[in-house]
Amino acid sequence: MTPTPWTLRATDFRAHRELQWHPEPGVNVLVGPNGSGKTSVFKAMTLLSATFSREPSEALRRISPRNLLNLRAPPDGHVKLSVEVGEAQWTLRLPVNTLGLRGSVGEELRHRDQIVLRAAMFQSEWFLGQEPRQRGADETRCSARILWDEQRPEWMRPLVEWLRGLRVYRDWWLKHLFLPIDRSDITTRLDEDGLRLWSVLSNWSQSRSTQAQARWVIEQARLAFPNQLSDMDFFPEVLAFRPGYSAPEQGLAPSVLSDGLLTALLQLTAIAGAKEGSTLAIDEMENQLHPFAIRVILEAMREEAARKGLTILLTTHSPEVLNEFKGEEERVFVLGEPGRAQPVPLSELVHEDELPIAYIGERYLRERFASQSEQARSSR
């Protein structure tokens, strides 16, 4: 499947004065020093997706509404977020203070170069073409969602599918995986905190249409952790088996599994459950993982991205992760480079003659990219 290209833009959002990102389908990685705005990129995507599906103030709670406005923005400034997918471009303008929203969200939807709908900040009226409409006191939908629900214009479909298909995984709640499986939970897609991992894998394993997904997750986890896992069972409880063991009394409960193995199962389940052509993001994918497991999981991600037309976005501080992108420097995006549009492909920061001679992770450790600005270093 060939996914529809998309571009994310942000102005005065958290760490970013200006951001424009157009990652290609496949596996891409975002790197930068602490505070450069890696997580903010994912939060911008989350906020766009949640605003389409929820009431704006509820959407803001998904990312923590405090201090969203960039510190260098004018005091009366606002956050601007935009995503362009195919022929549609949707823009939000959020009047915010340190505590959250201080008025109605502004909104604009374009089809090619034509404005289809617009709503000014702080106003109760919005316009569909030239037709004025009122935001009802109990209206919980954004204007773009209202247009989609009422008219279903085909040119909006790639945008809507991107917004609804997006998954951003930031904080895995590993300790909650120690709880007994909930047999009444029929979910078949991993939620963004990973709490229902066992329900998803159990439900997949019971259906002919999804059994292959469950087996793929287990097989890839076994490759990544060959000495820790041979198989898993979910009935009547979740048990993992080490190589050479298969009797129920020899199974291991989730509470005694390594954090690395649990993290791998979460990441692989997120990938296996992603809809074709969708975008998903994983923050600091290296957390808890051994370098060998990182290599195996990245290879699995690349294979599934190619097969399903996925765009997979990772953030990292790990040289081990970056070394796996040698030869794909255009897929490594750097934040925090002074005087450059953000983010910058690594291939534009390092002369092409230099790229083959050193692993990217070694450059990350020893040289300037994704570390500190020249000004900061010279002042030390």
Residues 193-206 have pLDDT tens digits of: 999 999 999 999 99
Residues 249-283 have pLDDT tens digits of: 999 999 999 999 999 999 999 999 999 999 999 99
The token duo for 123 is: 């106003």
Amino acid letter for position 1: M
Q: Residue 273: inside a domain, yes or no?
A: yes
Cβ atoms of 102 and 86 within 8 Å: the answer is no
Q: Which residue has the tokens 């501080």?
A: 317
Q: Residue 5: inside a domain, yes or no?
A: no
Query: According to the model, what pLDDT value does residue 305 have?
Result: 97
- Structural domain of 179: 171-277
Query: According to the model, what pLDDT value does residue 265 have?
Result: 98
Q: Residue 31: inside a domain, yes or no?
A: no
Q: Residue 318: inside a domain, yes or no?
A: no
**E strand or H helix at 13:** strand 6-13
DSSP state of 121: T
CA angle 214, 220, 224 (to 5 degrees): 145
Amino acid letter for position 164: R
The maximal CA–CA distance of the chain, rounded, in angstroms, is 71
Where would I find the H helices in 227-359?
A: 259-272, 291-308, 319-323
**Interhelix angle for 197-206 vs 211-224, to 10°?**
130
Q: Residue 346: inside a domain, yes or no?
A: no
DSSP-based three-state secondary structure for 27: strand
Spatial distance between the Cα atoms of 331 and 221, rounded to a whole number of angstroms: 25
Cβ atoms of 23 and 109 within 8 Å: the answer is no
Q: Residue 240: inside a domain, yes or no?
A: yes
Residues 112-139 have pLDDT tens digits of: 999 999 999 999 899 999 899 987 655 7
Question: For residue 352, what pLDDT band results from cuts at 50, 70 and 90?
Answer: low
Cβ atoms of 262 and 273 within 8 Å: the answer is no
Amino acid letter for position 285: M
DSSP-based three-state secondary structure for 353: coil
Q: Which residue has the tokens 């891409």?
A: 28
- How many domains does the chain fold into? 1
Spatial distance between the Cα atoms of 300 and 316, rounded to a whole number of angstroms: 17
Q: Residue 366: inside a domain, yes or no?
A: no
Query: According to the model, what pLDDT value does residue 59 have?
Result: 85
Spatial distance between the Cα atoms of 79 and 64, rounded to a whole number of angstroms: 14
Distances in whole angstroms, Cα of residue 224 to Cα of each of 49, 221, 239? 32, 5, 18
The token duo for 84 is: 């362009």
- The pTM assigned to this predicted structure is 0.91
Query: Does the pLDDT of residue 358 top 60, yes or no?
Result: no
Residues 12-28 have pLDDT tens digits of: 999 999 999 999 999 99
Q: Residue 212: inside a domain, yes or no?
A: yes
**E strand or H helix at 169:** strand 167-169
Query: According to the model, what pLDDT value does residue 374 have?
Result: 43
Query: According to the model, what pLDDT value does residue 356 have?
Result: 43
